[in-house]
Amino acid sequence: MEEHYSGRAQPGPETFESTGNDLREYIVYREAPGASPCAPIKQPPSYQFKPINWKTRKVDRQNLTVYFSLSRTEASTRLKAATRGQAMPNARFPTLELSECTDESLKFVLSRTDASVANALRRVMIAEVPTIAIDLVNISFNSSPLHDEFIAHRLGMIPLVSDKAADMNYTRDCECEDFCDLCAVVFQMDVEGQVEGTTVTSQHLQNVWFDPDTYPRASTVEPVHWSCGAEHPDPALDASASGIIIAKLKAGQRIKLEAIARKGIGKEHAKWSPVATVSYKSEPVVSLRLDELNNRLEVAQRQELLKWSDGALKWDARTNKLEYDDAFKYGRTALSNDFVRKCGEMLVQVGSHPSEVILLNNDPSRFEFFVESTGAISAPVVVVNAISVLRNKLQELQTSLRAETLDRVEHGLY
């Protein structure tokens, strides 16, 4: 109980009354005060969880953070780690704000973590979340203007609903001889051109294993015909409403084929990637060198600038200078794009370069993510699956590292 993290004087202990509610009464040593969320904690706090009897015990409030001031999940993570006897001095506790959430796209802010985590997440979403895509095409008849390989490639690019991909096997791991309904889905197509001309689309692909009772997994797989899954658009209004175009046939031309879809990941071929885009950017933090600003601009310009600051700046009537408002200091407001543009124009007018006054820093612990799904898996599920994939990778690595080490010990390499 006597550990301190900074050199500052410790205030005397004070009595802490129980609030009477039944929140988990555990305590955890607080992280070093003033430590930035991303910087490594210099002196590792020992996360010792001890039940407290609030009624009988005096608690040094400065030195402790009570359990319920942490979020429930964060605290339970620490608690689980502590019960396993692990101190976690180097772990991070990222937070997440979701701002837009539909099946197709997702916007969220990931903060209190490192660029390596954000980038790993992005890379896994693009390349390592499994989906199902057409991989093998047997063409039995093709008199269309497109050659066989062309059609096979186009078929591969069609996103297929892959909600059950996580439950399916990779064909190379499956116990079946060639392929089966546990590792593949078979589509058939036989289209003949009519006199008025026929457009072959993804809707002509028929799932052979459509029966949900016999094939609970394979029957759910079908092409994603429309960009919006909720409502079928009217073909009369929207040409793309008929599905994804594969080829166009004149009278008498014919395509007959069988397409076998398999599970795979984007690293093997981009057609298995569940996302159209995943991007992240770190948030720029705009600040000003106010002394320089006040020196270079005229009073009238400074007053004009005040109007653009949206409450981030205030006017000091005594000195006629601009100052930061408290709202800006406490991070409740920020300098807008319009302000930065206006300020830059004024500085150019007086012959200064804007970068001498306007400072741009990127906050390297805050990442704005944008995820757009192809429709194969809904965007929120892509993120959840990506985290699972990453965790499985790490756990597999740890297991085999332990096995490798034990192996060496047995063989006397240590």
The footprint of another protein (CB under 8 A) covers 40, 42, 44, 73-74, 77, 81, 86, 88, 90-98, 101, 108, 110, 113-117, 119-120, 123-124, 127-128, 172, 265, 267-269, 380, 383-384, 387-388, 390-391, 393-398, 400-405, 409, 414
Tokens 């186009």 locate to 154
DSSP one-letter string for 281-324: EEEEEEEE-HHHHHHHS-HHHHHHHHHHSTTSEEEETTTTEEEE
Q: Rounded to the nearest 5 degrees, what angle is found at the Cα of 342, between the Cα atoms of 340 and 347?
A: 90
Nearest to 110, CA basis, from 280, 277, 276? 280
Q: To the nearest whole angstrom, how small is the minimum distance from the Cβ of residue 101 to another protein?
A: 4
The smaller minimum CB distance to another protein, of residues 18 and 388, is found at: 388
Q: To the nearest whole angstrom, how small is the minimum distance from the Cβ of residue 86 to another protein?
A: 6
- CA gap 259, 278 in Å, rounded: 29
3-state SS assignment for residue 373 = strand
The smaller minimum CB distance to another protein, of residues 52 and 166, is found at: 166
The smaller minimum CB distance to another protein, of residues 102 and 352, is found at: 102
The smaller minimum CB distance to another protein, of residues 326 and 404, is found at: 404
The smaller minimum CB distance to another protein, of residues 60 and 268, is found at: 268
- CA gap 368, 371 in Å, rounded: 10
The amino acid that residue 66 corresponds to is V
Q: To the nearest whole angstrom, how small is the minimum distance from the Cβ of residue 398 to another protein?
A: 5
Q: To the nearest whole angstrom, how small is the minimum distance from the Cβ of residue 165 to another protein?
A: 15
According to DSSP, residue 9 is labeled P
Q: To the nearest whole angstrom, how small is the minimum distance from the Cβ of residue 401 to another protein?
A: 5
Q: To the nearest whole angstrom, how small is the minimum distance from the Cβ of residue 281 to another protein?
A: 18
The smaller minimum CB distance to another protein, of residues 100 and 211, is found at: 100
- CA gap 252, 194 in Å, rounded: 7
Q: To the nearest whole angstrom, how small is the minimum distance from the Cβ of residue 48 to another protein?
A: 17
Beta bridge partners of 187: 207, 259
- CA 351 to chain CA mean position, Å: 43
3-state SS assignment for residue 332 = coil
The smaller minimum CB distance to another protein, of residues 82 and 293, is found at: 82
Query: In this structure, are residues 6 and 63 in contact, taking their beta carbons and an 8 Å threshold?
Result: no
Tokens describing residue 43:
């002196």
The amino acid that residue 76 corresponds to is S
